[in-house]
Amino acid sequence: MAAKNKPVKAKAKTGRPTDYTPELAALICERVATSTLGLNKICLAEDMPVKSTVNLWRYRYPEFSYQYAQAKLVQADLLAEECMDIADDDSKDIKINSEGYEICNAEFVARSRLRIDTRKWLAAKLLPKQYGQLVDDKKTVSESIVEKLIDRLID
């Protein structure tokens, strides 16, 4: 007996449908560009998708990836400005010890330094030409060391 020709059914799509919209993508980018919060904290808001979804959208939607990258560049400027605010805040630099003397609040100063260093590092990674360290394009570090060693040997 010959098998009857049955029509082949289209494979049903599995998985959750995407909630991506250009409007939501723009809102995410606006929040990134107007705050120094990381994506983890931005995505905690009720109207935001979870971080993994945003990262997936960056992979799937090139236009969103570009928008997001531009927002991060704007955020780098905000991080640099925030460094100035942190550095200028001396409100907790001095504390009163148990004997009533004013002493340096080393913990607050150290925390402020860490906050500034973290923001400087992020800004330098996001905008290396503007906030990164200058690098001499003509010489690498190893070439510089070799030249110093040769100079020592010659002298």
- CA–CA distances in Å: residue 101 to residues 91, 94, 95: 16, 10, 8
Q: With respect to residue 113, please indicate whether it lies within any of the assigned structural domains.
A: yes
Q: With respect to residue 4, please indicate whether it lies within any of the assigned structural domains.
A: no
Q: With respect to residue 153, please indicate whether it lies within any of the assigned structural domains.
A: no
Q: With respect to residue 82, please indicate whether it lies within any of the assigned structural domains.
A: yes
Is the pLDDT at 147 greater than 90? The verdict is no
Instruction: Kindly compute the dihedral angle of the four CA atoms of residues 114, 118, 120, 126, in this order, to the nearest 10 degrees.
Output: 180
- 155 falls in which pLDDT band (50, 70, 90)? low
Q: With respect to residue 106, please indicate whether it lies within any of the assigned structural domains.
A: yes
Is the pLDDT at 140 greater than 80? The verdict is no
Compute the distance between CA of residue 113 and CA of residue 2 in angstroms, rounded to an integer.
80
**pLDDT, tens digit, for every residue of 33-51?**
999 999 999 999 989 999 9
Q: In the chain, what are the helix, strand and coil shares in percent, each to the nearest 5?
A: 60, 5, 35
Is the pLDDT at 16 greater than 70? The verdict is no
- Indicate the SS3 state at residue 83: helix
Q: Which domain holds residue 117?
A: 22-133
Domain with 48 in it: what CATH number? 1.10.10.60
pTM above 0.85, yes or no: no
**pLDDT, tens digit, for every residue of 85-139?**
999 999 999 999 999 999 999 999 999 999 999 999 999 999 888 888 766 555 5
Compute the distance between CA of residue 80 and CA of residue 116 in angstroms, rounded to an integer.
9
Q: With respect to residue 10, please indicate whether it lies within any of the assigned structural domains.
A: no
- 1 falls in which pLDDT band (50, 70, 90)? low
Q: With respect to residue 138, please indicate whether it lies within any of the assigned structural domains.
A: no
Q: How many domains does the chain have?
A: 1
